[in-house]
């Protein structure tokens, strides 16, 4: 067996739950947060410590499964078949319940991180849950993340209109870029909502360029976007925003 084949094999100590490397990923997040935020008070530190403790207990229970399913080690007292089966069932049950607690602790920690605006860490926890087979929990976290990002930029987005001055146009562009960068791509209505805000943004950019006497290239799509020409094409919203940004930033950097 090659080294690559060996790495591809499931870790028997944790099967059927998840591999050892996956099991410790939330603990890695917790350690990183504790190291980076030693002076952060209370709730975050407590939830990190809880997650570390639960991960340790999960690994101990999974290790017990491994010992019971593997060949007896030299010097280890033989366990009768019936007792061994009972111990194995208890060990699997303990590992399963502890995994549920680890996943639940990840969700609790993510909630605290969302409150603090630590979006990258929430995204990492969602990715871990997805990789570990907890698709529903991962989808929930991504949905909460999307809602938090929208809320953070609500004031900039609600102020987008068709007669904005340059400073407001720049803030609007930055806010829309942040939405497309930070909100998960599968968040319901993300592209459609950003696409809805492009016509008034384009109208403002068009008016500012005209007021400056700037010659608008014949291949420019500003006027097309301003009149709702991309309304039915939310799939190209990133391209449309990039085009508007480029034409505006050519004048206002």
Given this model, what pLDDT does residue 137 score?
86
Q: Are residues 41 and 135 in the same domain?
A: yes
Given this model, what pLDDT does residue 229 score?
87
Given this model, what pLDDT does residue 15 score?
46
Tell me the C-alpha to C-alpha distance, in Å, between residue 41 and each of 15, 38, 46, 110.
Answer: 37, 8, 9, 16
Given this model, what pLDDT does residue 115 score?
87
What are residue 228's phi and psi, to 5 degrees?
85, 20
Given this model, what pLDDT does residue 44 score?
65
- Indicate the residue among 149, 178, 194 that finishes a domain: 149
Q: Are 128 and 106 in contact (CB under 8 A)?
A: yes
Q: Are residues 97 and 180 in the same domain?
A: no
Q: How many domains does the chain have?
A: 2
Buried b (16+ CB within 10 A) or exposed e, 174-188: ebbebbbebbbeebe
Q: Are 251 and 245 in contact (CB under 8 A)?
A: no
- Indicate the residue among 83, 115, 149 that finishes a domain: 149
Q: Are residues 158 and 145 in the same domain?
A: no
Q: Are residues 97 and 131 in the same domain?
A: yes
* 3-class secondary-structure state, position 116: coil
Q: Are residues 183 and 244 in the same domain?
A: yes
Task: Dig out the tokens for 241 from the structure.
Answer: 């925003």
> Of 157, 161, 203, 198, nearest to 179 (Cα)?
157
Q: Are residues 65 and 163 in the same domain?
A: no
Domain limits for position 56: 3-149
Q: Are residues 72 and 127 in the same domain?
A: yes
Within the chain, where are the H helices? 3-8, 20-23, 25-36, 43-69, 81-115, 119-131, 135-152, 154-158, 166-182, 190-211, 222-226, 237-249
Given this model, what pLDDT does residue 14 score?
45
Q: Are residues 166 and 138 in the same domain?
A: no
- Indicate the residue among 97, 116, 149 that finishes a domain: 149
pTM score of the predicted model: 0.68
Round the average pLDDT of the chain to a whole number and report it: 78
Q: Are residues 180 and 107 in the same domain?
A: no
Q: Are residues 189 and 136 in the same domain?
A: no
DSSP state, residue 118: -
Tell me the pLDDT of the chain (253 aa) as tens digits.
Answer: 444 444 444 444 444 445 555 665 666 566 556 555 554 556 666 776 776 777 777 667 666 666 566 555 444 444 455 576 666 666 666 666 667 777 777 888 888 889 889 999 999 999 988 888 888 889 999 999 999 999 999 999 999 999 999 999 999 999 999 999 999 988 999 999 999 999 999 999 999 999 988 888 888 899 999 999 888 888 899 999 999 999 999 888 6
Q: Are residues 126 and 209 in the same domain?
A: no
Task: Dig out the tokens for 97 from the structure.
Answer: 């319940």
Given this model, what pLDDT does residue 6 score?
43
pLDDT one-digit tens code per residue, 148-199 = 999 999 999 999 999 999 999 999 999 999 999 999 988 999 999 999 999 9
Given this model, what pLDDT does residue 10 score?
43
Helix count (H) and strand count (E) of the chain?
12, 0
Q: Are residues 135 and 158 in the same domain?
A: no
């Amino acid at each position: 067996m090659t080294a690559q084949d060996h790495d591809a094999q499931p870790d028997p100590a944790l099967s059927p739950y998840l591999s050892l490397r996956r099991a410790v990923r939330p603990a890695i997040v917790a350690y990183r947060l504790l190291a980076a935020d030693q002076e952060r008070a209370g709730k975050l530190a407590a939830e990190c410590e809880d997650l570390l403790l639960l991960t340790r207990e999960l690994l101990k229970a999974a290790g017990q499964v491994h010992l019971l399913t593997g060949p007896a080690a030299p010097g280890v007292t033989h366990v009768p078949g019936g007792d061994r089966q009972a111990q194995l069932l208890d060990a699997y049950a303990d590992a399963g319940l502890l995994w549920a607690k680890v996943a639940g602790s990840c969700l609790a920690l993510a909630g605290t991180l969302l409150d603090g605006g630590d979006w990258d860490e929430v995204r990492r926890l969602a990715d871990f849950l997805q990789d570990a087979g907890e698709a529903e929990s991962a989808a929930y976290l991504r949905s909460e993340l999307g809602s938090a990002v929208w809320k953070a930029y609500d004031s900039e987005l609600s102020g987008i209109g068709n007669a904005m001055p340059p400073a407001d146009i720049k803030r609007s562009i930055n806010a829309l870029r942040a939405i497309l960068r930070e909100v998960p791509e599968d968040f319901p209505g993300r592209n459609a909502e950003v696409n809805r805000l492009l016509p008034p943004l384009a109208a403002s950019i068009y008016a500012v360029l005209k007021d400056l006497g700037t010659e608008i290239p014949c291949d420019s799509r500003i006027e097309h976007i301003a009149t709702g020409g991309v309304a039915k094409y939310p799939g190209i919203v990133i391209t449309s925003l990039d085009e508007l940004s480029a034409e505006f930033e050519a004048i206002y950097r």
